[in-house]
Amino acid sequence: MKEAQLEQFLHYLATERQLSPHTLNNYSRDLLRFLEFVEEHRLAQWADVSARHVRQFAAQIHRQGLAGKSIQRTLSAVRSFYRFLAREQWVEQNPAEAVQAPKASRKLPNTLDTDQITRLLDIPVSDALSARDLAIMELIYSSGLRVSELVGLDMQNLELAEHSLRVLGKGNKERELPVGRKALQALDRWFDYRDQLADYTQPALFVSSRGGRISVRTVQQRMEYWGKRLGITGRVHPHRLRHSFASHMLESSGDLRAVQELLGHEDISTTQIYTHLDFQHLMQVYSGAHPRAQKKDK
């Protein structure tokens, strides 16, 4: 009976919800794992499963090495399945509704150190594409832009005389950012070449070889190309450059609130995730600031 109801749910996902084969495979794998747990605990019907059982199940798959993100997905599948069972009037309650998975740890890209940044931003400019690519990478590192923010920039967003730009971030929130000297120089060089690719009526700051607004995928591909060509360790991509910006700014200034504003984070805890201080720097700050950590004068 339990297997038949599970099959009906998967059929519902495929026909009424029209989920992709990949998503269906995930649902099927996660729910078969749950079915195995239910059978091991000799629960005759889905209605016999309690919230305590679901918590035990989550703990079990956690012990088996399943990552937080995978546990979240599995519990989401169980919750959806019980909503279906309730809709069909096979159960009265959803035992998975209040069960939360352990928070998934966020994996961040490694930063580029200052030597790698110098090598990456010393690319030979010989044509419009290399001039554009250098300006793109300089601007991301200079202002900590998200790649979506970068590709959305128009010419009118730049305030060259003020050394700044206006960017539209997440939630359609606009913020003003400083632009560094090296990035301004790279932009000037890009403007010398830009009319080779784009008509003067094109508002986009950065354009593709066909003259339209550049895409996120093209930016990613070009950065990966330059990373490989210049022998940079690990894959070079926009978020790695943004993360390097944030880390270097925080290491130099120690001003978490300022870095939060520059990155456009709503919550400062997000900035704490994206940035880090090495332990040696923390010890230096502690030793210099804490009254009971300072060495006594001899």
- Find how far residue 250's CA is from the centre of its chain: 19
The letter for the amino acid at 112 is L
Instruction: Report the alpha-carbon distance of residue 252 to residue 230 in Å, rounded.
Output: 26
pLDDT at 277: 47
pLDDT at 287: 67
pLDDT at 259: 85
Residues labelled as active-site residues: 146, 170, 239, 242, 265, 274
Cα Rg of the chain, angstroms? 26
Q: Choose the CATH number for 114-278 among 1.10.10.10, 3.10.290.10, 3.90.1180.10, 1.10.443.10.
A: 1.10.443.10
Structure tokens at 187: 């932009």
Q: Is the dihedral of CA 94, 96, 100, 105 positive or negative?
A: negative
Kindly report the pTM of this predicted structure: 0.61
Structure tokens at 29: 């794998």
Interaxial angle between packed helices 128-143 and 238-253, expressed in degrees from 0 to 180 and rounded to the nearest 10? 40
Instruction: Report the alpha-carbon distance of residue 49 to residue 55 in Å, rounded.
Output: 11
Domain map of the chain by residue range? Answer: 2-87, 114-278
CA-wise closest residue to 46 among 101, 98, 100, 4:
4
Structure tokens at 8: 């009906």
CA-wise closest residue to 178 among 202, 154, 160:
160
pLDDT at 250: 81
- The residues, ordered by sequence, that sit 6+ positions from 243 with a Cβ below 8 Å of its Cβ are 108, 109, 111, 274, 275
Number of other CB atoms surrounding residue 225 within 10 Å: 12
CA-wise closest residue to 58 among 41, 75, 76:
75
Residue numbers of the chain with a pLDDT score lower than 70 = 102-109, 273-288, 290-298
Q: Could you read off the pLDDT of 167-224 as tens digits, one per residue?
A: 988 878 889 999 999 999 999 999 999 999 999 899 999 999 999 999 999 999 999 9
pLDDT at 100: 77
Instruction: Report the alpha-carbon distance of residue 81 to residue 11 in Å, rounded.
Output: 12
pLDDT at 162: 92
The letter for the amino acid at 12 is Y
**CB of 34 closer than 8 Å to CB of 78:** yes
pLDDT at 279: 46
Instruction: Report the alpha-carbon distance of residue 80 to residue 255 in Å, rounded.
Output: 43
Q: What is the CATH number of domain 2-87?
A: 1.10.150.130
